[in-house]
């Protein structure tokens, strides 16, 4: 999907720079779900209980989950950016500084930040709650938590186009600050006793 849409935006030339690069973080969310899914599955099967018993700290477990999610995000971004830039150049467009600036200032940081925030919330939520399936489970709600920050920033930026750059960068800053605040509370929100197998 990300390859198809990025390629389509690339064919539109300036659309890839102005819209495609801003939408890519939404696709990154789907790619980043894997880390949270592994954590939930490992908790249900008792893998985390085994790891904690052998001295692995909850902070290290969270770091491993985040790394898994971020590797998947990197794959999604690599496919999306490659497809977009390829069709952008094949359409006869010239690479301007605006494209790499958009990718480096917003697309990559926002993608990694929203997925890290989404995964962190999912891990804490799963740790502190009883396992359940369905749309109201952490895994069911996480995609919305990952998409909302980007979507809100885009809607506000479109409503006030004269300040679009400041709005999306401010949105990015809010996500990073929320993430730092949560990570600082890892020990309290992810106690070892809550990582025991629920079965």
Reported as a single tens digit per residue, the pLDDT across 97-149 is 888 888 898 889 999 999 999 888 888 887 777 655 544 556 667 778 888 88
Per-residue confidence (pLDDT) for residue 46, from 0 to 100: 74
Q: Confirm whether 77 is domain-assigned.
A: yes
Q: Confirm whether 86 is domain-assigned.
A: yes
Does position 177 have pLDDT exceeding 90, yes or no?
A: yes
Per-residue confidence (pLDDT) for residue 135, from 0 to 100: 44
Q: Count of domains in the chain?
A: 1
CA distance 64 to 122: 14
Q: Confirm whether 199 is domain-assigned.
A: no
CA distance 24 to 6: 8
Per-residue confidence (pLDDT) for residue 130, from 0 to 100: 64
Per-residue confidence (pLDDT) for residue 196, from 0 to 100: 64
Q: Confirm whether 96 is domain-assigned.
A: yes
Cβ within 8 Å of residue 157, ≥6 positions away: 22, 163, 164, 167, 168
Q: Confirm whether 130 is domain-assigned.
A: yes
- Region 31-45: mean pLDDT is 76
Q: Confirm whether 105 is domain-assigned.
A: yes
Domain of 85 in residue numbering reads as 2-194
CA distance 15 to 82: 15
CA distances from 57 to 48, 54, 88, 131, 191 (A): 10, 9, 46, 21, 9
Mean model confidence pLDDT for the chain: 82
Token pair belonging to 56: 């692995």
CA distances from 131 to 3, 39, 53 (A): 34, 12, 21
Q: Confirm whether 69 is domain-assigned.
A: yes
Does position 41 have pLDDT exceeding 80, yes or no?
A: no
The whole-model pTM stands at: 0.84
The CA angle 2-105-20, to the nearest 5 degrees, is 30
Q: Confirm whether 70 is domain-assigned.
A: yes
Does position 86 have pLDDT exceeding 80, yes or no?
A: yes
Residue, of 176 and 5, whose pLDDT is higher: 176
- Region 2-11: mean pLDDT is 77
């Amino acid at each position: 999907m990300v390859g198809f849409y990025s390629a389509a935006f690339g064919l539109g030339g300036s659309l890839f720079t102005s819209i495609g690069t801003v939408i890519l973080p939404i696709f990154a969310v789907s790619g980043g779900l894997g880390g949270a899914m592994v954590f939930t599955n490992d908790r249900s099967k008792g893998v985390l209980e085994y790891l904690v018993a052998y001295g692995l700290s909850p902070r290290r477990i969270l770091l491993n989950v985040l790394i898994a999610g971020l590797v998947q995000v990197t794959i999604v971004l690599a496919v999306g950016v490659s497809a977009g830039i390829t069709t952008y150049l094949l359409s006869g467009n010239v690479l301007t500084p605006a494209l790499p600036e958009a990718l480096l200032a917003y697309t990559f940081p926002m993608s990694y930040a929203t997925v890290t925030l989404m995964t962190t919330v999912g891990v804490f939520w799963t740790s502190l709650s009883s396992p359940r399936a369905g749309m109201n489970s952490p895994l069911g709600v996480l995609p919305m938590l990952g998409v909302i920050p980007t979507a809100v920033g885009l809607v506000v930026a479109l409503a006030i186009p004269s300040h679009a750059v400041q709005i999306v960068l401010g949105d990015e800053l809010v996500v990073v600050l929320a993430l730092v605040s949560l990570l600082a509370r890892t020990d309290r929100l992810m106690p070892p006793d809550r990582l025991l197998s629920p079965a």
